[in-house]
Chains A and B, each alone.
Chain A
Amino acid sequence: MNEKLSYQVTVNGVAFDVDADRDANLLSLLRDQVGLTGTKQGCDDCECGACMVLVDGRPVNSCSYLAVQTGGRDVTTIEGLAEDDELHPIQQAMLDHAGVQCGFCTPGMIMSAHALLETTPKPSIEEIRIGLSGNLCRCTGYQSILNAIGSAANAAD
């Protein structure tokens, strides 16, 4: 049997004691143990970005990130962005600009955008293109997502 490891991980500000296989990835930890299913599995090999989360504020594809590496660290998922009933400005912009269709890429897309705007608050269009190029969307053709992220950045102080 796969060796189990016990450690504590903080997800969206809440500490969880977990007991996970040594080779478990962060995606399965979040979905199966922490119980947050907003982070999606789209490919399992770092190609689609649907599983994007933040570890200590930095974006990672959780499908290819060992869960044990998050021991003692802060993980932020899509469920951690809105405050009470108030959507995060990126979430609101994605709705306002029709950047959401099927919604399956949306959590990962928003997490990548969040990471981009943290480091580059006023990105150029090219910087948005580069910052989100690891997130695949098959529905929107991306134009509405470009508009949404640009708008969210411009609306911020």
Chain B
Amino acid sequence: MSLTDSTPAAAQRFVRADGPEKVTGSGRYAADLELPGMLHAAFRYADMAPARLAGIDTSKAAAMPGVLAVMTAADVPDLRYSPGIADRKLFATDMVRFEGEILAAVAATTPAIAAAAAAAIEVSYESLPAVTDIETALDPAAPLVHPEWADYQVDEGIVREGNLACFSSIERGDAEAAMHEAHTVVTSRYVADGCHAVPIEPRAVAAQWEGNKVTIWSSTQVPFDARAGVCETLQMPTNRVRIIVPHLGGGFGGKCGFHYEAHVAALARAARRPVKLVFSRAEEFLAPDRRREGMVFELTSALDADGRLQARTGTVLIDCGAYVADAAFFPQLAAMHAVGPYQVPNIKIDASLIYTNHQPSGSVRAPTAPQACWAVESHTDELAAAAGLDPVEFRRLNAVDSRTVGPTGQTYEEIGLQECIDAATNAVSYGDELAEDEAIGVAIGWWPTFVSPAGAFLKMDEDGSVQILTGAQECGTGAVMTLRQLAADELGIDPERIEMIYQDTAAAPFGPGATGSQTLVNNGRAVIAGAKQIADQLRELAADQLEAAADDIVLIDGIAHVAGSPTAAVAIDDLAATAAGGELLLGHGSDPFPEPPEAVGTTCVGDQGLTAWVGPQFSCHAVRIRLDRDTGVVRVLDVGAAHDSGTIINPAGALGQVHGAVMMGIGQALTEGTVYDEHGHQRNADLLEYKLQTIADVPHIHTSFIEPPTNNAGPRGAKGLAEAPNVATAAAISNGLAKLIGTPVRMLPMTAERVWDTIGSAHDQVAAATEGHGK
């Protein structure tokens, strides 16, 4: 362990190049853009859903002064898109499946005229029965959310039928047989509501055509995915679509995927003017194909007489919402989290992604993991109690460790989970006496490192300064800034001498974007490879001048010198000037990514390749809480957050990720949950009724990074960090609450009302038991 919150700032080598413009207000976000002649867009959403569309009449809207374009499905190519399962259209045609479904779009000279015109579009509907309960949606009698599901194009290997959008199972050993032979068997049920990413910036998109080429400024986390979506839906080649991302005001997964870039581009083409769309907060809650999925868990686990896990079976239901968005990989990921980082020899988990008439689910920071960790770790404390073991001891006994075999047959190299348990519990003095109505809950979690293709271009100009052109995207984490550190270390120069071009698909090679905690792992690999090419060129130039072998040249502190002879040296700036008169200093990189390890002995239906993980990340959160028994209000006082995310290259950035994710986790635990009416419409789509944590709620967060040597991961053994700290917080709070109440709160979020109800139920049970005993 080498880094904690108390590491001096001077040792936290973090360079946020975009800082000055963000604190002065001069940085431009997508909504800040103005172009000559720019129009304003507004969408017409479904007035009722689900419903069959009987007709759309746009004539009155189109005739309004100031309206330059009105579009419906008739004005764009008629095709379905979406990764995995092509179930989506830009505009509704015959059916609207959720309240945020777009029927039409308007471009007008002012936002007010656009909104008035959108409202003037006349739509007739035939109401349909809503599917809102994932536990009954698979009944044969349930209405189909997509009656034409069998006609959709799907990726090979996806298992589906009717409202079952996607199914995946993980099986290893013989769980049923192990259950019969077990000493103790515990069954638990947990239900998690959906919730939201809630970036503080509502999304905005602007588009401008020049000839047959379009430039789109979008608040997207994934500009290359956005480009692919535009190209697919408007049927254009990639080299005529340019996506530029101005400063991005947060995403947390909510701005991943392809959303409204094609709508705005199509409007701008039809209006022959630039068009800008800016979402209201309500739209940001209701419309995007992105929210954290509601889930239902039924888990049964078996222990031997010593409290060792022998088997787990489980059923996981996931609310897909009306469209699959990017959620086709959720079932297997959820199944992995329904097992957790434990040594369980026999498992059988079935996970189903189920269509409903809710807003579509999609990747929000560690999709499926906080809910599943909450359920599994709450279940784990029930197991520990059944075994008569302290919850921490139970985890030490059963959690995976270096060179042990995980639940899906992956053998781990050096990992730091057991050390995470030590660090997190020590940080909050686990075991010491606590004040009345206080408790410490502990939970462990895990998360994969995702690998993907990525490229980078680098150039060193005549003054020795460098530009990196990368497909990485900055969404606030600062991960792209870390790329400067990697390049600087290869080139032997100060990172301040390096500028980044990271938000333009026309300039940079492909990158996955700010998604899946991938920037450092994948773009970092590409930047190092590109920087090495320039470093090799510099060594050749220095070798010529210093009459030495290129292999003996060391690049450090702006100087190229002969190894062992610091005085035999030349300034790197001088080498750059020399190169500018001849062969230019250019680098490009895109190295192959690490191979996934093997899952030995595991079989799957609907396999999605997620049963064995490159660079698995581990965490333990230990949370001290205080409960007000009269109101059910929970206060989080202290959080010990310990993480094995491999090597930490940017400590200040890493701490920011942990602190932010813990606060998001506290919100998900206690206050953040979507409330629906019987039609599947959201009842709390605003920040007054959907409560985020504020600065008044901040607990003491004690962070530790465990850094075991990691081979099969990103640069220098880094695994990525943006999602992993969001996994275990809600689970730890749940376990603290269960200690205080005597039983878990089996619904997420664990709102004051639900906590209060659970206290009452527990009290009633105790009273009934006492009464029965007295008789």
Contact = CB atoms under 8 A, between A and B. Distances in A.
Nearest to B247: A103
B16 A79 contact: no
Contacts of B202: 41-42
Given A48-B200, A141-B662, A91 B248 contact: no
A44 B31 CA distance: 14
Contact of A40 (B201, B692, B693, B698): B201
A87 B20 contact: yes
Contacts of A117: none
A43 B687 CA distance: 7
A100 B18 CA distance: 9
A136 B201 CA distance: 11
B659 A140 contact: yes
B502 interface: no
Interface stretch (B146-154, B171-179, B475-483): B475-483
Interface stretch (A3-11, A66-74, A142-150): A142-150
Nearest to B667: A138
Nearest to A107: B25
A142 B663 contact: yes
B280 A44 contact: yes
Contacts of A153: none
Size range of the interface on A? 35 or more
B564 interface: no
Contacts of A14: none
Contacts of A87: 20, 23-24
Given A129-B696, A132-B695, A50 B16 contact: no
Contacts of A104: 29, 199-201, 247, 249-250
Nearest to B33: A37
A22 to B, nearest CB: 13
B565 interface: no
Contact of B695 (A41, A42, A142): A142
Contact of A38 (B26, B477, B687, B698): B26
Interface in A89-130: 91-92, 94-98, 100-107, 110, 128-130
Contacts, number: 170
A33 interface: no
A105 B281 contact: no
Given A103-B18, A142-B698, A137 B25 contact: no
A45 interface: yes
A87 B24 CA distance: 8
Contacts of B23: 78, 87, 91-92, 94-95, 100, 103, 106-107, 110
A62 interface: no
Contact of A133 (B26, B29, B198, B694): B694
B9 interface: yes
A123 to B, nearest CB: 12
A102 B687 contact: no
A15 interface: no
Contact of A78 (B19, B24, B198, B278): B24
A82 B656 contact: no
Contact of B199 (A79, A102, A132, A141): A102
Contacts of A101: 250, 476-478, 656, 660
A143 B659 contact: yes
A142 B476 CA distance: 14
Given A43-B281, A87-B20, A136-B200, A103 B27 contact: yes
A25 interface: no
Given A42-B201, A104-B29, A128 B247 contact: no
B695 A146 contact: yes
Nearest to B5: A143
B688 interface: yes
Interface string B273-287: 000001011000000
Contacts of B268: none
B32 interface: yes
A44 B24 CA distance: 22
B200 A129 contact: no
Nearest to A50: B200
A61 to B, nearest CB: 12
A88 to B, nearest CB: 8
A42 B281 contact: yes
A139 interface: yes
Most chain-A Cβ atoms within 10 A of its Cβ — which of B23, B28, B248? Answer: B23
B28 A146 contact: no
A36 B280 CA distance: 20
A118 B769 CA distance: 60
B705 to A, nearest CB: 16
A98 B655 contact: yes
Interface of A: 31, 36-45, 47-48, 50, 77-79, 81-82, 87, 91-92, 94-98, 100-107, 110, 128-130, 132-146
20 contacts: A36-B25, A37-B31, A38-B24, A39-B25, A40-B249, A42-B281, A87-B23, A91-B24, A98-B14, A100-B23, A103-B22, A103-B247, A105-B200, A107-B25, A135-B695, A138-B200, A139-B660, A142-B663, A142-B693, A144-B659
Closest 4 CB pairs of A and B: A38-B25, A102-B476, A104-B249, A103-B22
Given A130-B696, A137-B695, 12 more contacts: A37-B28, A43-B687, A47-B687, A87-B24, A102-B251, A128-B695, A129-B698, A132-B694, A140-B659, A141-B656, A144-B656, A144-B659
Interface of B: 9, 12, 14, 16, 18-29, 31-32, 198-202, 247-252, 278, 280-281, 475-478, 652-653, 655-656, 658-664, 686-688, 692-696, 698, 701
